[in-house]
Structure 1
Amino acid sequence: MARRAVIVVCDSLRQDLIRPDTAPVLAGLMADACAFRAYRSVFPSTTRTSSASMATGCLPATHGLLGNTMALDEGEGLVCRSVGNPDFRQRMRRATGATLKVPTLAQRLAPHGGAVVMSNVSAGAAYFHDPDGWGYVYHRAGSFGPGLEPETGDRHLAIGIGAEGDRAMTDRFCGEVLSDRRPALGVLWLSEPDHTGHAEPLGSPAHLAAIRTADDRVAQVLATVARLEAAGDAVLVVVCSDHGMETTRRTVDATARLVASGLKDAADSTDIVLAPNGTGAVIYAAPHARDRGPALRRFLEAEDWVGRVFAGPELAELGMPAGGDVLLALTTAADDEPNGYGVRGRADIVADPESSKSYDGFGQHGGIGVNEQNPFLVVRGGGFATARATDHPASLIDIAPTVLRHLGQPAEGMDGRALPLDPPQVV
């Protein structure tokens, strides 16, 4: 009997949007398997950070990837960079001497059956599952095997983002990866409903259609797993999202406001650098500017677009480093008002100077809002209780140690803990 694990991520799918009419397969799975209703994401609640946290079982302070964007000093002072760019791994190595600070599942499992990741989100989110090439990562921007050797020709994952790309990727994942190559761990990260949620109102016909396509892809994987189990494999199946979404209420040019306040020298200055992360942001400071921390906090706490500011020990409680270049973090103001389709939760977002896209009226995430911190997690197989809904605390960082326990491997050095097999039923 081969022990194997499969993770499927429906990017940004809120738990409250899983219903029999919107996602019948997922709704049935949550009723029949073990559903962790109190499951939460990390901060920033962005896909790239979530990818690293899922891969390492660690909080951002431990693994070192601090958002969809990060400030790096590559020799000329702090500059905000997009983690989504395919070359960010190289930039991070130049600036810090490494990529992630701790081992990934791919590294831990390299001698024990290996890991294969197929991802249709940003390149950075895909590559930080395995930034140093211990296993296989397939992405439309470039696919790599052990040692970061390129997978070219028919081996490359040549797809587009969105529903059709997810469909083609899932076909290959179920056939080639799960059925033929049979790694100890297979990870499938779908672009939907995140891709549509960033471009259409939450709950709109287009967004609900995207949720349904993700539901269809989960059905494909479950059908494949059923065949593997019938052949004798013991498969742990983890189906989840990495975060939820809020509706964007307004977009704020936070960097311009810092400059206008006199607390940042110029929009492109390296003294104080704001890294936008949707409904959250991280503020970095050069050594000579760290004494501006108290004034920056007072300024931000007086701004109507800011929900909460974190500094010092509060950063550690948030799972962020309380030192080094990081000075402050913030989450934006939010309310519980519904959008035009009745989906509750609106929040301000921080403008990204590198992006011209408008998210106003569409979905966004990155902070600690009620809805973006309401992803879903359901686990099947591996000895987990069935027909169980539980409010036992659970986090994205608990997935990796849960996988390793099933595969008979140690999980030392992880911030997360393996989820209980028989958690208390919701009363």
Structure 2
Amino acid sequence: MSPSPVADKVVICVFDGLRPDFVTPELMPNLARFAGQGTWFRQARSVFPSMTRVATTAIATGAHPRVHGIVGNAFYFPQATTAHAIDLSRWDDVSLAIEATGGRFVAAEPMGDVLARAGKRMAVVHTGSAGSAYLINPNVRENGHWTFSLLGREHTRTPDAVDEVIARFGPLPPRRLPRFEETDYAERVFREHVLETIRPDVALIWFNEPDTSFHYRFLGAPETLNVIRTVDDAFGRILAWVDAQPDAERYAVIAASDHGQITMADALPLSELLRGAGHEGRRAAERTLEGAQFTMTGGDMGEIRILDGGTARRDAIAHWLMEQPFTGMLFTPGGDGVEGELPGTFSLSLVDLDHERAPELVFTLRSTDDPDEYGHPGLGLMTKGDVPVGGGMHGGLNRHELNTTLVLRSAGSAEGLVDERPAGIIDIAPTVLAALGLPAAATMTGRSLLGAPLPSATPRICETGRGTYRQRIEVAERDGSRILLQGGRVD
């Protein structure tokens, strides 16, 4: 049964990496004011891994990675290539995966497909990587939709959109940190071309800030705060355009982020440390597997895929990690739904990562709620070579990297409400479809945030470990879907 529509248009603004504790009247007055006009889901959460390409797909499909199949920003995917792990920021790797899966790299049905089937159009302005621009509407070309990538023609499946924008607005802006020029250019294209000229049923803009500056200019640095204000100004112009429309009440507006971030206190040469323990591995960034017994992705979490040595090597690596003070959490497939098949590890199914593409071992590095030098809570460790020490990172289960911004203003949503019940990025696609009177896809595990209030959910705390190594995770079970609240090592 289809829901009753409450909107004719939906506008979605995604602020990559925006922690909700940065949404204040002083720093982001437009977004803070908007939060007072709608419902702010203050305990909204990302998925695990809390990485952009995984989260992008969760937003597009309304499902966890166990359903949509994008299990990392980069991961070993031998169906596409055995030469190296695929990096989903690169279009050549994304193309390999699309070809290998016969166009079914995203295994769940995205909202773009549902919209197209109903005769509705989606248009996207994207400032992130080729993979992210692809994953937000994978079948954009087949659907007759429109995705503009700020990175150029080769970063979108609808390159004519780039030609169209350049013809009207001039050359693409330079790539400089922070992304002031990119923010302003993208916002103008979105407001003047997408909203005013194309007028799609669903319009989405993806700002790459504050994520990029969090990574490389640090969470509380003056430059980062300035670009956050720039993004907020851009959002204010978009909101002013919507509010000036004669049918403004028929617009639903969603402001969201895909994940948060925490500050990296130190970087570890994990691959080298594992070599010293007798395991020769290759990091995904090396783009080769020559001589490797395992391949590993990095950040403040990563996957380990065994290429030589089977379960015995996996277990040896996991047991070694349990003995290290820097290890946070460990996950293996199978098990009883809480503990994985290797005692002391959690099951991948507990964090909705148990897709057939999932690895044999997933780790997070240790993190705390301690403040960084600017006073923002959340300190962690990362593998060496990803971002500068002192920069931000995300991917793991620290509550500050899981907690996302999620605000909905629409007929059918409460005004000025701060809703503390568990919600998540998996709820965005079902909400968009419900606002337009369309049913959710069968593969969507999220639920609409419109209409009936979210059910209350008692957090469930699970703990496991081996010897002196203990880990704990807190989840909220909610009508057939799960919201990951936080997790980490227990002292």
Fold similarity call, TM over 0.5: yes
**In structure 2, what is the Cα distance between the partners aligned to 1:418 and 1:173?**
25
1:102 aligned residue: 108
1:297 aligns with 2:308: no
For 1:26 and 1:165, locate their aligned partners in 2 and report how far apart those are by CA, in whole Å: 19
2:134 maps to 1:127: yes
Letter in 1 for 2:423: A
Query: What is the aligned counterpart of 2:180 among 148, 163, 184?
Result: 163
Which 4+ runs in 1 deviate beyond 6 A? 144-147
- The alpha carbon displacement at 1:271 in A equals 4.0
| Deviation (angstroms), 1:149 | 5.7
In structure 1, C-alpha distance between the alignment counterparts of 2:357 and 2:58, rounded to whole Å: 20
Whole-angstrom CA distance in 1 between matches of 2:263 and 2:7? 44
- Higher mean C-alpha deviation, range 87-96 or range 10-19: 87-96
| 2:354 corresponds to 1:321 | yes
1:356-398 per-residue CA deviation (whole Å, 9 max, x = no partner) reads x642111111111121112211100141111111112101111
Deviations 1:382-422 (A, max 9, x none): 41111111112101111000111111112122121112436
Query: CA contact under 8 A between 1:402 and 1:419: conserved in structure 2?
Result: yes
Mapped to 1, the partners of 2:362 and 2:155 lie a distance apart of 36
Pairing 1:409–2:414 present:
no
Please state if 1:86 is matched with 2:86: no
Q: Distance in 1 between matches of 2:378 and 2:235?
A: 27
Match of 2:431, SS?
A: helix
1:351 to 2:351 alignment: no
Aligned AA (2:123): V
1:207 aligns with 2:224: yes
In structure 2, how many angstroms separate the alpha carbons of the residues matched to 1:148 and 1:131?
Answer: 11
1:142 — aligned with what?
A: 152
Measure the CA separation in 2 of the matches of 1:143 and 1:107.
22
**CA deviation after TM superposition for structure 1 residue 150, in Å:** 4.0
Inter-partner Cα distance in structure 2 for 1:167 and 1:385? 31
Cα offset for 1:68? 1.5
Pick aligned residue for 1:284 from 305, 329, 347: 305
Cα distance, 1:172 vs. partner?
A: 1.2
What's the counterpart of residue 370 of structure 1? 399
- What is the letter of the counterpart of residue 444 of structure 2? M
Of 226, 239, 257, the residue aligned with 1:222 is: 239
- What's the CA shift for 1:95? 4.1
2:269 to 253, 272, 275: 253
Is residue 150–residue 186 contact of structure 2 (8 Å, CA) maintained in 1?
Answer: no
**Residue 473 of structure 2 aligns with which residue?**
none
Residue in structure 2 matched with residue 67 of structure 1 by the alignment: 72
SS in 1 for 2:150: coil
Deviations 1:142-179 (A, max 9, x none): 34899746435333583345121111111111111112
Q: What is the rounded CA distance, in whole Å, between the counterparts of 2:223 and 2:65 in structure 1? A: 33
Structure 1 pair 41–59 and aligned structure 2 pair: CA distance change class (3 A): same
One-letter amino acid of the structure 1 residue matched with residue 127 of structure 2: N
The partner residue of 1:239 within 236, 255, 270 is: 255
Change in 2 beyond 3 A, CA 1:407/1:291: farther
**Amino acid in structure 2 at the alignment position of 1:285:** I
Structure 2 CA distance, aligned partners of 1:153 and 1:266? 39
Q: Tell me the percent identity.
A: 29
Alignment-mate amino acid for residue 215 of structure 1: D
CA RMSD across the alignment: 2.6
CA deviation after TM superposition for structure 1 residue 124, in Å: 1.4
Q: Is the 8 A contact 1:137 1:144 kept in 2?
A: no
- The answer (yes or no) to whether the contact 2:300–2:365 under 8 Å persists in 1 is yes
* 1:296 positional shift: 2.2
Distance apart, 1:270 and its partner CA: 5.1
The residue identity in structure 1 corresponding to 2:106 is: L
Query: TM-score normalized by structure 2?
Result: 0.79
How far apart are 1:198 and its partner, in Å?
A: 1.2
Query: Following the alignment from structure 2 to structure 1, what is the Cα–Cα distance between the partners of residues 416 and 80?
Result: 55
Residues 228-274 of structure 1, C-alpha deviation per residue, up to 9 Å, x if partnerless?
Answer: 3x236611111011111111111122222233222346663454211
Greater shift in the superposed pair: 414-423 or 359-368: 414-423
Is the alpha carbon distance of 1:322 and 1:138 closer, same or farther for their aligned partners in structure 2, counting shifts above 3 Å? closer
Q: What is the CA distance between 1:283 and its match in structure 2?
A: 1.8
- Runs of 5+ in structure 1 lacking a partner? none
Q: Match for residue 50 of structure 2?
A: 45
Partner of 2:34: 29
* Displacement of 1:299: 1.4
* Preserved contact between residue 310 and residue 328 of structure 1 (Cα < 8 Å): yes
CA distance in 1, matches of 2:421, 2:57: 23
Which deviates further from its counterpart, 251-260 or 54-63? 251-260
Distance in 2 between the 1:375 and 1:26 partners? 14
Partner AA of 2:263 in structure 1: T
CA contact (8 A) 1:89 1:131 kept: no
| Residue 394 of structure 1 pairs with residue 423 of structure 2 | yes
Report which stretch shifted further, 88-97 or 391-400. Answer: 88-97
Q: What amino acid is aligned across from residue 155 of structure 1 in structure 2?
A: V
Counterpart contact for 2:91–2:154, Cα < 8 Å: no
**For the structure 1 residues 424 and 185, does the alpha-carbon distance in structure 2 shift closer, same or farther, using more than 3 Å as the test?**
closer
Q: How many residues align?
A: 420
Unaligned regions of 5+ residues in structure 2, if any?
1-5, 284-288, 338-346, 457-491
Q: Which residue of 2 aligns with 1:340?
A: 373
Distance 2:58 2:454 in 1: 26
Once residues 261 and 222 of structure 2 are traced to their aligned partners in structure 1, the CA distance between those partners, rounded to angstroms, is 16
Residues 263 and 380 in structure 2, CA contact (< 8 A), matched pair in contact too: yes
Relative to 1, partners in 2 of residues 1:43 and 1:265: Cα closer, same or farther, differing over 3 Å? Answer: closer
Q: What SS does the corresponding residue of 2:369 show, helix, strand or coil?
A: strand
Residue in 1 aligned with 2:193?
176
Rounded to whole Å, the distance in 2 between the matches of 1:145 and 1:263 is 37
- In structure 2, the residue corresponding to 1:342 is in which secondary structure? coil
SS of match in other structure, 2:217: coil
TM-score (norm 1): 0.91
Alignment-mate amino acid for residue 404 of structure 1: L
Measure the CA separation in 2 of the matches of 1:117 and 1:147. Answer: 12
